[in-house]
Every structure is written in structure tokens, then in C-alpha cells.
Amino acid sequence: MNFAPDLSTVTHGIQLAVAPVFLLTAVSGMIAAVAGRLARIIDRARFLENRLESGGVESARAIRMYAELKELRQRGWLVNSCIALLTFCAMLIGTTIILLFLGETSELNILRTATVCFLAGVVFFLLALLCFFAETLLATRLLKFAELPVRPQC
């Protein structure tokens, strides 16, 4: 095995590994966005739990609050799944970058492994997008537009 590559080989290895870095950047941005959604879900759940624990909530309102907590739990599960999938995606893309660089700068024949890691990372990213889409649909379904009072036009 030759682990002393020349400068042009290292340069080409870096160029080859740059493309997956763009996907890695997208994944990190997506994790930040989804983590923000998780924080809002947690804040809302804590607010409802505190209101219920403090008492003084009428029975009908308490039933609606418990129903909302159940829906927040579902949304939280979807967001946590999304974050887990994105984390696995990032790990696979990072592994792809390492494998591409090693494959280019050494005599290791790891192109097939790098391909599998990259494609698996893309699959995890797509699954994370599905979770994100489902959570968004659930969040908008929970909105109660019909209950808003109609404001008269001036």
C-alpha cells in the first residue's frame, strides 16, 4: 500500500470529496431548522402541562389541552425521528468523504463502499424529509382557523 501520494493526487482527492460536503451543509441546516421546531413543541407542551398542574382549568378546556399534548407528543416523535435520520445521514456522508479521499490518495479499492455510503446517506435524507413533511402536515392540521373571529374590513 502506498500512503505517500503526490500533490496532484491529494488535490484531486479533495476535489472529489467536495461534492458530498454540499449535502453535509444542507443536512446541518436542516438539523438546525428541525431542532428549532422541537424546541417550540417542547415549550408548548411545558406550558400546557404547567397550566394543567396549576389547576383551575375547566373540564372541557382540560380535555382539549390533553388532546393537544397527545398531538404534540406525536409531532415530537416525528421531529426526533427526523433528527435521528439526519444525524445518520451526516455520518454516512462524512464517511463517504473520508472514503473518497482515502480511495484517491491510497491504493485502497473502496469506491463501492463509498458509493453505498453516499446512497444510504441520500436515502436517510429523503426519509428525514418525509418525517419533516408529516410533522408539518400534523402541525398545520392542528391549527384551528375556523375558530378565529372574523375581523370586519375597514
Q: Residue 83's pLDDT is what?
A: 98
Average confidence score pLDDT of the chain:
87
Least confident of 43-52, 117-126, 139-148: 139-148
- pLDDT (average), residues 60-82: 94
Q: Residue 20's pLDDT is what?
A: 84
Q: Residue 149's pLDDT is what?
A: 63
DSSP codes, 48-88: HHHHHHH----HHHHHHHHHHHHHHHHHHHHHHHHHHHHHH
Q: Residue 34's pLDDT is what?
A: 97
Residue 45 has pLDDT above 60, yes or no: yes
Could you tell me what percent of the chain has a pLDDT over 70? 82
For residues 144 and 20, the model is more confident at: 20
Hey, is 107 helix, strand or coil? coil
With contact defined as beta carbons under 8 Å apart, do 13 and 104 qualify? yes
Burial (0-12, 13-18, 19+ Cβ within 10 Å), 91: middle
- pLDDT (average), residues 72-94: 96
Q: Residue 122's pLDDT is what?
A: 94
Residue 104 has pLDDT above 60, yes or no: yes
pTM score, whole prediction: 0.80
What span, in angstroms and rounded, lies between the C-alpha atoms of 110 and 115?
9
What span, in angstroms and rounded, lies between the C-alpha atoms of 113 and 2?
20
Q: Residue 80's pLDDT is what?
A: 97
Per-residue pLDDT band at 100 (split at 50, 70, 90): confident
Rg of the chain taking only CA atoms, in angstroms = 23
What span, in angstroms and rounded, lies between the C-alpha atoms of 68 and 47?
11
Could you tell me the residue ranges of all domains in the chain?
39-139
